[in-house]
Structure 1
Amino acid sequence: RHLSAEALFEEASRSRLQVSLATVYNTLNQFTEAGLLREIAVDGTRTYFDTNIAEHHHFFIEDEGRVIDIPASAVEVSDVPPAPEGFEVARVDVVVRLRRKSPI
């Protein structure tokens, strides 16, 4: 499941759970740091959290703000430049942005 903090906050509000948006963000970030969720940054303003922490990539449907999994085996990441001295590559995230085709 892919969810944003805002969507989870709205679900909590509809269920009459009194929780602040800041608490939702803090909790999601703590779960991410603990390895229970995976953060997906689709642009500078939108972040989603993924319950699937296994290696995989994502489609992002721009018109709908929806994220769909891509199996890791479907994407080949090659020619990654070497990390600068003192650093190592932690992970490579691939987000393929989609939009609906315009009618012809």
Structure 2
Amino acid sequence: MAEINGEWNSFNNRQIIDILIGDTNVLPYWSGSKLSGLCTTFGVKFGPSRWNIMQTLLALCTRENRISDFLNYFFDEARIKKVEGSTSEEEQEQIQKGISEINKI
């Protein structure tokens, strides 16, 4: 349980959540409806705000040992291209920039 709590504490960070939901202009912006769809994918009931939705989603994925599934899905190039309509080069830059910013925290 300590490992899960440590993993959760790493993700339960406002700076990381702001990057993931697109409030820092590092990764694409996630609207409430997009986040609701993401929650549906992972079987999570969503909260009142975009930040709370992502926090709830990360907590559940950590608790169920699915954080790798979440990160693989979230940073999947094909999903980003489909959702955002970006080119392969843009996708790679966004993904690398997002991971780099999270790793700095």
- Name the one with the larger helix percent: 2
RCO higher in 1 or 2 (8 Å CA, sep ≥ 6)? 2
Larger Rg: 1
Would you call these one fold, judging by a TM-score over 0.5?
A: no
- Name the one with the larger strand percent: 1
Q: TM-score, normalised by structure 1?
A: 0.28
